[in-house]
Structure 1
Amino acid sequence: MPMPTQEFRISTPLHRRAFLRHGTLCLAGLGGALFAKDESGTAKPAPAVRVGIVTDLHYADKESTKTRFYRETPRKLEEVVQRFNAEKPDFVVELGDLIDQAATVEQEIAWLDEIEKVFAKVTSPRHYVLGNHCVATLTKAEFIAHTGASKTSHYSFDHGGVHFVILDACYRSDGEPYGRSNAEWTDANIPAAELAWLREDLKKHTSPVVVFAHQRLDEADKHSVKNAAEVRAVLEASGHVSAVLQGHSHKNAYQQVNGIHYVTLAALIEGSGEENNSYGMLEVMSNGALRIKGYRKMQARELEGVKRKA
């Protein structure tokens, strides 16, 4: 399969904190960071960490709907894998809804095994965010058992001087985890125990923080986590969270809320043909500034680093 032409469209969100000057991101406080030059000869900071990103694959062996072409997902994912293996990111993150919902547990596991065989061809370490479709029919333990996912659905890790957090909002308002068709997708929540863990985890780190979630943590109507405001308060109190990357609503979107970038990524599933694929390469700088190289339908962005606490 031929590799896609990179679409690197610079998107300038309508906010004074995310800005470009003469086509180059203005970054302060990088200290002794290494710099590389782009094609125009302009110096740009070399990333501390590079992360492959893709979301909302919704694989299923079933008929297409108006915009979702379920059986095309493996072919689209093969292109993603080829790109990631060529660029060799430090790790990759799948931000949820790897599969679509099946009528039976057996069918769901079969679909999951099929798409996991493709995703497992990625040579970089893989991380998975649980999406509502991942654990609609299956339990969380079953999803984890049939993928390369971590044994815990929320966790954190460090790489290249950056702290990364994986969140799980697949809980009902009463704290029950999703599974066996027991929940409405609009009832997404970060439960009290996970929120307490997040608060303590962030207290331990002063490096830039990037958070990955499936359901949105900014304001996005029914696609938002129901207690998103409470979660945002914890992120803001840290003073070191640069960005939240999220999926779920299937379209490119951006908001900045109290100094934190909320970047919503376009879904791989939407649209037929390779031109409607969607994936990207996230580059995190040493001060938490971000670059997203967008491929196909994923929008490229350049965002400044967080105003860190003294």
Structure 2
Amino acid sequence: MPSDNLLPRLRFGLIADPQYAPIEPNMALNRHYAKSLDKLEAAIARLNAEDLDFVVTLGDVIDRGFENFDKALDVYGGLRHRAFFLPGNHDFSVAPERLAEIHGKLGMPAPYHDFVCKGVRVILTDGNEISLFAPPPGDPRRQAAEARLAALQAAGAKNAQTWNAGMGNDQIAWLDERLKLAAAAGETAIVMGHYPLFPASDHNLWGAEDVAGLIAGSPAAAAYFCGHNHAGNYGALNGTHFVNMKGMVDTPDENAFSVVELFGDRLEIHGFGREENRLLPLSPVAGLQAAIG
């Protein structure tokens, strides 16, 4: 279907890990937290010049401190496109009494949710659900996180790290149901989260293998986009693309964000600053899904 392969069916912007805070840089990690407001302003000005359906921030709007959301979100207020946020681990580096306010502060209808735009189902997951930092103190999910982390450490897993987290069984079942719904409706599915799933790394979601297999096993799934690992990464599993976007907070002056275009037979990622350009072919089944919607 030539027309479907010449014109994108969906165009959206991606930002990962601005991690704003008015603090000194961490030179060992090359993270310049106070510079992120200027980078966000530059990114939003560029994204405003594009014809986009929406913009997703893949987590870590701030590095720490609930009060720092205000300045970062004030910059996002200049975005003319519909904005969606996924919180990352650093977004929960706030006083314990503010933890329950994070999702509302980011304008999220629920910790995980989905929507359909132009025949594409966009599924936004919550990788912080089982963690040592997102649930309030005393929440059983913290105990579950301690047990899961201990098991991973005992197994010598690379991602057995306190800065990672996992998804609960109910959410995984929900993700499976949304992917099946997309396939039955002839929709392309694009899944997003904060934590990488594939390839293996020390930044991956706890239980990443199972979640990656679930997504890659869906005929509707075209790609999974994430942040968290600021160096970025890429892998393909069963024809599904797993793209780890680079962190905006890294380096004193280079930005990192992107515009993604979905065609009937491919995904094109147009990177700005440190972010790479990518041309990712879609499998015949995924391409058919995109053409049908």
TM-score where L is the length of structure 2: 0.82
Q: Does 1:243 pair with 2:226?
A: no
Counterpart of 2:21 (choices 49, 60, 66) is: 60
Give the match for residue 112 of structure 2: 154
Q: Could you say if the C-alpha distance between residues 33 and 267 of structure 1 is closer, same or farther in structure 2, counting changes exceeding 3 Å?
A: same
Give the Cα separation in 1 of the matches to 2:137 and 2:200. Answer: 26
* Code of the aligned partner of 1:93: V
Q: Which has the higher helix share?
A: 2
Q: Could you say if the C-alpha distance between residues 141 and 125 of structure 1 is closer, same or farther in structure 2, counting changes exceeding 3 Å?
A: farther
The 8 Å contact of residues 41 and 75 in structure 2, kept in 1 or not, is answered as yes
Give the Cα separation in 1 of the matches to 2:162 and 2:86. Answer: 15
Give the match for residue 125 of structure 2: 167
Segments of structure 2 that go 5 or more residues without pairing to the other structure are 146-160, 289-293
* Code of the aligned partner of 2:90: H
Give the Cα separation in 2 of the matches to 1:228 and 1:220. Answer: 8
Residue 205 of structure 1 aligns to a residue in which SS?
A: helix
* Code of the aligned partner of 2:105: H
Over the matched positions of the two proteins, sequence identity in percent amounts to 27
Give the Cα separation in 1 of the matches to 2:84 and 2:194. Answer: 13
The 8 Å contact of residues 189 and 226 in structure 1, kept in 2 or not, is answered as yes
Q: Does 1:143 pair with 2:123?
A: no
Q: Could you say if the C-alpha distance between residues 180 and 76 of structure 1 is closer, same or farther in structure 2, counting changes exceeding 3 Å?
A: farther
The 8 Å contact of residues 164 and 195 in structure 2, kept in 1 or not, is answered as no
* Code of the aligned partner of 1:199: D
Cα deviation digits, residues 104-123 of structure 1 (max 9, x gap): xxxx2210111100012101
Cα RMSD for the two superposed structures: 2.2
The Cα shift of 1:34 comes to 4.4
Q: Does 1:282 pair with 2:267?
A: no
The Cα shift of 1:92 comes to 0.1
Segments of structure 1 that go 5 or more residues without pairing to the other structure are 1-30, 36-44, 102-107
* Code of the aligned partner of 2:278: R
Give the Cα separation in 2 of the matches to 1:171 and 1:260. Answer: 24
Q: Does 1:88 pair with 2:65?
A: no
The 8 Å contact of residues 161 and 286 in structure 1, kept in 2 or not, is answered as no
Give the match for residue 3 of structure 2: 33
Residue 68 of structure 2 aligns to a residue in which SS?
A: helix
Counterpart of 1:294 (choices 254, 271, 285) is: 271
* Code of the aligned partner of 1:158: V
TM-score where L is the length of structure 1: 0.78
* Code of the aligned partner of 1:65: N
Residue 92 of structure 1 aligns to a residue in which SS?
A: strand
